[in-house]
Structure 1
């Protein structure tokens, strides 16, 4: 899986908002950009995508800024990625179940579907609250702690 810069920045921005969710005041875009090292123009587009997806709300003005639109424990990493990049797994821009294969390649469709299932198993499990608190689900920690997970191939 290739994680785009936009998806990485969007998740980081959303975690930043989750970490500041206890405050009564919205978080300024500049604070997110500075805190996460995200170019402001890029962040504005990302926050617009997150707002359009209903994950973030905003308020204009001197006291304005951004909040999560739902509790941080109700927003998964998958939700954020889908908001900025679309489906988690596609084959040539289509859902894996919609891509026909013939002959010897026919089993490939099931491989792509299994890949999507495993992506979902991780990305739909981890919430912004998990990340903001630094307390990841045990099964995610177990996967990441496997030495094989750290081997680049």
Structure 2
């Protein structure tokens, strides 16, 4: 599975909004500078997040962006879907819409299982969890093995 730059930037921007939520709306330039995200790219990402109902925007001198809901109610999956669409697809197709024949038939349940596990992790972790540094125990446990940190 690959996390796109767009998804990574979206999650980082959302976390910046969590960190600054008590300061009022945050300008895109402030988020861009704080997270080292290209400004024009960030504007597009924030617009996608606004259209998805994750952030609110206000124009003007006191304007900027803020989360539309409490960070506890926004999952990492919500943020990724807002900018990239489905969490898992195969050649741009959602697994249930695929069909295979012959020796490849068992690929479909494999892709479904992968999607299920990705959903379980990303839907089970909120922006508040990441911002606080307190990932859910089941997610933290997955990082306990040294093999989890090594590329085969």
> What is the TM-score when the length of structure 1 is the normalising length?
0.96
Deviation at 1:87, TM superposition (A): 0.1
Map of 1:148 onto structure 2:
147
Cα deviation for residue 22 of structure 1 reads 2.6
CA contact (8 A) 1:19 1:133 kept: no
**Aligned equivalents of 1:34, 1:71: Cα separation in 2:** 24
> Aligned pair 1:6/2:6, yes or no?
yes
- CA–CA separation in structure 1 for the residues paired with 2:43 and 2:144: 35
| Offset, 1:37 | 0.5
Moved over 6 A (4+): none
CA distance in 2, matches of 1:120, 1:97: 15
Aligned residues: 152
Structure 2: state its 5+ residue gaps. none
5 Å matches for 1:66-77? Answer: 66-77=65-76
Q: CA deviation at 1:125?
A: 0.8
Is 1:128 equivalent to 2:139 in the alignment? no
RMSD after superposition: 0.8
Residues 46-75 of structure 1 deviation map (CA, whole Å, 9 limit, x = unaligned): 000000000000000000010000110000
Instruction: Report the secondary structure of 1:22's partner residue.
Output: helix
- Alignment match, 2:104: 105
Q: Which runs of 5+ in 1 are unaligned?
A: none
Give TM-score, length-normalised by structure 2. Answer: 0.97
The one-character-per-residue Cα deviations of 1:20-60 (angstroms, maximum 9, x if unpaired) are: 1233x211111111110001101100000000000000000
